């Protein structure tokens, strides 16, 4: 459980965002969701399985404000877990997404604040479920906050260029659910100075960027870069950019030859065939090797597609802080709804990173697609993530996919089927490899304008090469939600 100090941080972040503009018009909602979960393998063990139950209560609060000077949003939903037969496992886990962007001095001075809290899977060697109920020892509670002032200095009233200065500071808090030592607190820094060309350069836009990102400010460990970009716009459909710069690591990721710094270059081609589609392709080279980039999106009346691929240097703290805690919008731009309470957005991640406390080179491929027609909705989310660690003797690959299908049977009844796949491999002699899959069938019934009742049955299984790594579980649950 997070100690009181961590809870105060979470509450303080909420109050700070709420106080951004007390006179502003806020829109919000609050409610509670509760679940009674029955399972035939409570601790996801290979042998000596134990049946049992878990009671989960999830109150939530959400609010948003959009205006000319202040934009803010808050989504907070703690998960309270009760284990009737194992009270020592009772826990409270926090999920938070808070963002505020304010214009303090018109055109010149801005302030951005972001805060996240979530559970992340850090130890895949411990038997773990997709939702951390089966064995919480594999998960850690993570929270982060970043505060970034932004100063804009226009040159020739911005027509020639605008200088942007962003001295960002932050903190990352982590605590393993299996430990009681109070967790870790790591200060972070992310300072940027950017010069962006103005409307005098409509055909040949350019920019110059200097950035110093510290994953751990106490140890002066991080990554820096300076780069220049120049583009040429052939037409509204086609654009070509060239990036030249220099990378400088500070106890960060080392290449195969031991270098942590070096020259970089990259070419990026952008194609925008129409308003519904845009694509970006990039190729270059940095001190650690060749780099590739892809970002594509296509939107249709009934379906939408989004895919991206990139290579970046990350750390445990930076990746945890970047993960999407509350997916507020789907690929159509509509709010993502809870299947048990379609008036509320979801407050949990589907994909969690599997990482250790180290700096690593991350190759990430993402593909998301959504189809809607009449009463039917289908979606696919596919992530392939490779991590090449710097200090740890561990390279991992995670292939994760979720398939979802929902059909509205009537104005009150909705049926859904969800399938999750996860293939995890480690490229070393004693690597822990496994394949994990889960299937859930869900029914949700609207009792009234503020209440919903749901039922869920599912099966989870893991096939691991290591002895004692296999398990299977059958689960049933009853869910009730009430909106205040």
Question: Which CATH number fits the domain that encloses residue 49?
Answer: 2.40.170
| 23 pLDDT tier (thresholds 50, 70, 90) | low
User: Side-chain half-sphere of 394: how many Cα atoms within 13 Å?
Assistant: 20
Mean pLDDT over each residue of the chain, to the nearest integer: 82
User: What pLDDT is attached to residue 187?
Assistant: 87
Q: Which residue shows structure tokens 């805060």?
A: 115
What's the whole-number mean pLDDT along residues 350-359?
Answer: 59
Q: What percent of the chain has pLDDT over 70?
A: 81
Containing 10, the helix (H) or strand (E) segment is: helix 4-18
Question: What is the spatial distance between Cα 155 and Cα 206, in angstroms, rounded to a whole number?
Answer: 14
Domain annotation covers residue 26: no
Q: How far is CA 260 from CA 128, 189, 327, in A?
A: 35, 19, 35
User: What pLDDT is attached to residue 384?
Assistant: 92
Q: Which two tokens stand for residue 126?
A: 């411990």
Q: What is the pLDDT of residues 407-448, one digit of tens each?
A: 999 999 999 999 989 898 888 777 788 899 999 999 999 998
- Bridge partners (DSSP) of residue 207 are 196, 229
As to burial, measured by CB atoms within 10 angstroms (0-12 exposed, 13-18 middle, 19+ buried), residue 23 is: exposed
The domain in which residue 308 lies consists of 4-20+32-483
Domain annotation covers residue 27: no
| 177 pLDDT tier (thresholds 50, 70, 90) | low
User: Side-chain half-sphere of 113: how many Cα atoms within 13 Å?
Assistant: 18
User: What pLDDT is attached to residue 262?
Assistant: 93
Res 465 pLDDT > 50: yes
Cβ–Cβ < 8 Å for 455, 461: no
User: What pLDDT is attached to residue 270?
Assistant: 97
User: What pLDDT is attached to residue 395?
Assistant: 86
Q: What are phi and psi of 235, to 5 degrees?
A: -165, 175
User: What pLDDT is attached to residue 21?
Assistant: 52
Res 175 pLDDT > 90: no
What does the DSSP assignment read for 335-359? Answer: BPEETTEEEEE--S-S------SSE
> For residue 39, how far is the Cα from the chain centroid?
28
| 95 pLDDT tier (thresholds 50, 70, 90) | confident
Q: How far is CA 230 from CA 158, 164, 205, 385, 454, in A?
A: 18, 17, 6, 30, 55
Res 480 pLDDT > 50: yes
User: What pLDDT is attached to residue 4?
Assistant: 40
| 1 pLDDT tier (thresholds 50, 70, 90) | very low
Total domain count, the chain: 1
User: Side-chain half-sphere of 385: how many Cα atoms within 13 Å?
Assistant: 21
User: What pLDDT is attached to residue 153?
Assistant: 96
| 135 pLDDT tier (thresholds 50, 70, 90) | low
Question: What is the spatial distance between Cα 371 and Cα 243, in angstroms, rounded to a whole number?
Answer: 37
Cβ–Cβ < 8 Å for 163, 191: no
SS3 405: strand
Q: Which residue shows structure tokens 């990036």?
A: 243
Domain annotation covers residue 150: yes
Q: What is the pLDDT of residues 260-289, one digit of tens each?
A: 899 999 999 999 999 999 999 999 999 999
User: What pLDDT is attached to residue 209?
Assistant: 97
- Bridge partners (DSSP) of residue 262 are 247
Q: What is the pLDDT of residues 30-82, one digit of tens each?
A: 888 899 999 998 888 888 888 988 998 988 888 888 877 888 888 888 888 88
Res 14 pLDDT > 80: no
Question: What is the spatial distance between Cα 458 and Cα 418, in angstroms, rounded to a whole number?
Answer: 9
Q: Rg (Cα) of the chain, in Å, rounded? A: 24
Better-scored residue on pLDDT, 129 or 119: 119
| 216 pLDDT tier (thresholds 50, 70, 90) | confident
| 27 pLDDT tier (thresholds 50, 70, 90) | confident
Q: Which two tokens stand for residue 152?
A: 């804009």
What does the DSSP assignment read for 200-247? Answer: GGSSS-EEEEEEEEEEETTTTEEEEEEEEEEEEE-SSSEEEEEEEEEE
Domain annotation covers residue 25: no
Res 11 pLDDT > 80: no
User: What pLDDT is attached to residue 220?
Assistant: 81
Domain annotation covers residue 391: yes
What region, left, alpha or beta, does residue 460 occupy, with left being phi > 0 and alpha being psi -120 to 50 degrees? beta
Better-scored residue on pLDDT, 14 or 184: 184
DSSP assigned state of 19: G
User: What pLDDT is attached to residue 125?
Assistant: 64
The lowest-confidence range among 41-45, 208-212, 337-341, 431-435 is: 337-341
Cβ–Cβ < 8 Å for 162, 198: yes
What's the whole-number mean pLDDT along residues 335-355?
Answer: 44
What's the whole-number mean pLDDT along residues 178-206?
Answer: 83
Res 391 pLDDT > 70: yes
CB atoms within 10 A of CB 3: 12
Res 378 pLDDT > 80: yes
């Amino acid at each position: 459980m997070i100690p009181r100090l961590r809870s105060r941080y979470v509450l303080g972040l909420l109050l700070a965002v709420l106080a951004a503009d007390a006179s502003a018009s806020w829109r919000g909602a609050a409610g509670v969701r509760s679940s009674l979960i029955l399972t035939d393998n409570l601790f996801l063990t290979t042998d000596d399985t134990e049946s049992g139950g878990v009671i989960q209560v999830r109150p939530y609060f959400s609010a948003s404000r959009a205006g000319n000077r202040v934009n803010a949003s808050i989504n907070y939903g703690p998960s309270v877990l009760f284990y009737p037969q194992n009270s020592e496992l009772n826990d409270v886990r926090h999920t938070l997404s808070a963002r505020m962007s304010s214009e303090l001095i018109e055109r010149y001075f801005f302030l951005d604040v972001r805060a996240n809290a979530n559970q992340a899977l850090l130890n895949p060697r411990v038997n773990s479920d997709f939702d951390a109920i089966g064995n919480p020892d594999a998960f850690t509670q993570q929270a982060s906050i970043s505060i970034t002032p932004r100063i804009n200095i226009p040159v020739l009233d911005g027509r020639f260029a605008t200088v942007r200065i962003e001295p960002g500071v932050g903190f990352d808090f982590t605590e393993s659910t299996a430990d009681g030592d109070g967790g870790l607190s790591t200060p972070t820094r992310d300072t940027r100075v950017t010069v962006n060309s103005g409307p005098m350069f409509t055909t040949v836009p350019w920019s110059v960027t200097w950035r110093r990102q510290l994953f751990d400010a106490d140890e002066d460990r991080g990554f820096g870069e300076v780069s220049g970009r120049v583009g040429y716009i052939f037409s509204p459909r086609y654009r070509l950019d060239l990036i030249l710069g220099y990378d400088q690591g500070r106890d960060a990721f080392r290449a195969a030859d031991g270098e942590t710094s070096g020259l970089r270059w990259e070419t990026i081609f952008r194609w925008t065939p129409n308003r519904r589609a845009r694509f970006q392709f990039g190729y270059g080279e940095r001190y650690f090797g060749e780099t590739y980039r892809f970002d594509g999106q296509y939107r249709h009346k009934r379906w939408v597609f989004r895919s991206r691929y990139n290579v970046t240097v990350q750390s445990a703290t930076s990746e945890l802080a970047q993960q999407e805690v509350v997916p507020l919008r789907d690929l159509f731009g509509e709010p993502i709804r809870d299947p048990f309470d379609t008036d509320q957005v979801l407050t949990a991640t589907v994909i969690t990173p599997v990482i250790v406390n180290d700096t690593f080179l991350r190759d990430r491929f993402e593909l998301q697609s959504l189809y809607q027609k009449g009463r039917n909705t289908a979606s696919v989310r596919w992530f392939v993530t490779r991590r090449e660690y710097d200090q740890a003797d561990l390279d991992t690959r995670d292939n994760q996919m979720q398939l979802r299908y929902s059909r509205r049977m009537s104005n009150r009844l909705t049926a859904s089927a969800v399938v999750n796949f996860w293939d995890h491999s480690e490229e070393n002699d004693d690597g822990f490899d496994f394949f994990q899959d889960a299937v859930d069938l869900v029914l949700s019934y609207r009792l009234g304008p503020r209440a919903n009742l749901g039922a869920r049955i599912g099966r989870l299984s893991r096939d691991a090469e290591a002895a004692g790594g296999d398990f299977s579980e059958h689960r049933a649950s009853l869910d009730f939600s009430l909106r205040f």
